[in-house]
Amino acid sequence: MIIVMQSGTPTDQIQAVEERLAELGYQVNPIYGVEKTVIGAVGGMEHEKIDAIDSLRSYPGVEDVLLITKPYKFVSREYQKSKTTIDVRGVVIGGDEVVMMAGPCTVESREQLFTTAEAVSKAGARILRGGAYKPSTSPYSFQGMGEPGLALLKEAAEKYDMRVITEVMDPRKVELVSSYADILQIGTRNMQNYDLLKEVGQTKVPVMLKRGMSAKIEEWLLAAEYVMSGGNPNVMLCERGIRTFEPSVRNMLDLAAIPLLHKLTHLPVIVDPSQGTGRRDLVETMSVAAVAAGADGLIVEVHPNPDHAIKDGSQSQTIPQYEAMVTKLARVATAVDRRLA
């Protein structure tokens, strides 16, 4: 950690900072420049002292406090050099295969779900997605089928040899949802719902943590650190677009996050091109680009009849569109030394 003092700071204020640093267990190395004094503080586990460090910012004479180590530990590449692979009952996420997760935005009916599951499993999808509890911006939107939806997901997945991913929003429902799902999705609105993160951190169920709508990469990794430090190492991250000023897309997919995350963390990175654009006509191209950029998996909304979807029809692919896309994805995956199922 480096503490930058304002120019002209009196000696006693500099000493006060030095004393506080010593109290906190740091070795103190001041550098007295012409314009400014800076104090190097060596020896700490900065992430464990983050509150005390923050309070230094308001000491008299302190201009800035610069951290030089990462604020997270378990999720970092320094902590674990090799990439994490998560085995979801035989489906491995984080390996050579780009794992396809597909299904409807929302479970609406047995027919809708089974038709979709059959089609996408034939096209190589390994994991069935579908919402039973839906986070809707409006209270007047459909809130999901609830537990009957979970049961349908499990049944459809079993029939077509798939695994289930579905969202959990309420810490009180983690146990229930886990009894049906293979992967718990934490949605973008709940990325910093810490009680929920702690709850899923106490299970061993694989967790897919979506990026908050305006989350910095570091905040996202700290959210993952909540889960991992709670004891659950089975975490994957999902880029789903961020909020910007551009009105022609619902979200702006940040594909540079993929290589960036691969440098910073050992956790697998999934991409959601459906939410990440909000437009069916962009899903294929952005899926292709995501695979080219190194995504470990994609999660895609597919609906047998999107025009009559209860929710998010405008960003769901039809079944033929999904099938056509998979062919293209396979070619690009090969070109970057990955493969599809």
Task: Give the residue, chosen from 10, 57, 79, 96, that forms a contact with its own copies under the rule CB under 8 A.
Answer: 57
Nearest to 80 by CA among 72, 91, 69, 90: 72
Q: How far is the CB of 160 from its own copies (least distance, A)?
A: 25
Residue 146 in contact with its own copies, rule: CB under 8 A: no
> Per CB under 8 A, which region of 80-88, 117-125, 156-164, 327-335 contacts its own copies?
327-335
| Interface with its own copies, residue 176, by CB under 8 A | no
Closest CA to 312 of 106, 102, 100, 108: 106
Binding its own copies (rule: CB under 8 A), the pick from 118, 323, 328, 341 is 328
Q: Does residue 316 interact with its own copies by CB under 8 A?
A: yes
| Interaction between residue 79 and its own copies (CB under 8 A) | no
Span near its own copies by CB under 8 A; candidates 84-92, 109-117, 232-240, 273-281: 273-281
Decide: residue 47, CB within 10 A, 0-12 exposed, 13-18 middle, 19+ buried.
middle
| Separation of alpha carbons 240 and 253, rounded Å | 6
Among the residue ranges 58-66, 81-89, 110-118, 147-155, the one whose residues contact its own copies (CB under 8 A):
58-66
Least separation in angstroms between residue 52's CB and its own copies is 8
Which residue is listed with tokens 């986070």? 135
Nearest approach in angstroms of CB 161 to its own copies is: 29
The amino acid present at 307, given as its one-letter code, is: D
Q: Which of 10, 25, 43, 148 binds its own copies (CB under 8 A)?
A: 43
Q: Which one of residues 18, 59, 85, 95 is an interface residue with its own copies (CB under 8 A)?
A: 59
Q: Write out the DSSP string of 107-153.
A: ---HHHHHHHHHHHHHTT--EEE-BSS---SSTTS-----HHHHHHH
Cα→Cα distances 186→63, 180, 248, 279, 285, Å: 38, 15, 26, 22, 25
Alpha-helical (H) ranges within 188-234 are 194-201, 217-229
Smallest gap from Cβ 295 to its own copies, in A, equals 10
Which positions from 245 to 264 touch its own copies by CB under 8 A, shown as an x/- string?
xxxxx--xxxxx-xxx--x-
Q: Taking the complex as a whole, how short is the minimal distance between the CB of residue 8 and its own copies, in angstroms?
A: 9
Binding positions for its own copies, 203-232, rule CB under 8 A = 212-214, 216-219, 222, 225-226, 229-230
As measured in angstroms, the least distance from the Cβ of 29 to its own copies is 5
Measured from the CB atom, the residue of 151 and 252 that comes closer to its own copies is 252
Residue with tokens 């035989």: 90
Pairing outcome for strands 37-42 and 27-32: antiparallel
Contact between 69 and its own copies by CB under 8 A: the answer reads: yes
Dig out the tokens for 153 from the structure.
């997901």
Indicate the SS3 state at residue 278: coil
Determine the Cα–Cα distance for residues 97 and 268; give it in Å rounded to an integer. Answer: 12
Cα–Cα distance for residue pair 313/168, rounded to 1 Å? 21
161: its two tokens: 């040899």
- Max Cα-Cα span within the chain: 76
24 binds its own copies (CB under 8 A): no
Q: Measured from the CB atom, is 64 or 158 closer to its own copies?
A: 64
Nearest to 80 by CA among 241, 264, 247, 283: 264
Work out how close the CB of 162 gets to its own copies at its nearest, in angstroms, rounded to a whole number: 25
Shortest distance in whole angstroms from residue 184 CB to its own copies:
15
113, 174, 270, 286: which one contacts its own copies (CB under 8 A)? 286
Which residues does 140 contact at the CB level (< 8 Å), separation at least 6?
A: none
Stretch that binds its own copies, among 116-124, 133-141, 154-162, 178-186 (CB under 8 A): 133-141
Task: Indicate whether 233 belongs to the interface with its own copies (CB under 8 A).
Answer: no
Q: Identify the residue among 19, 54, 87, 161 touching its own copies (CB under 8 A).
A: 54
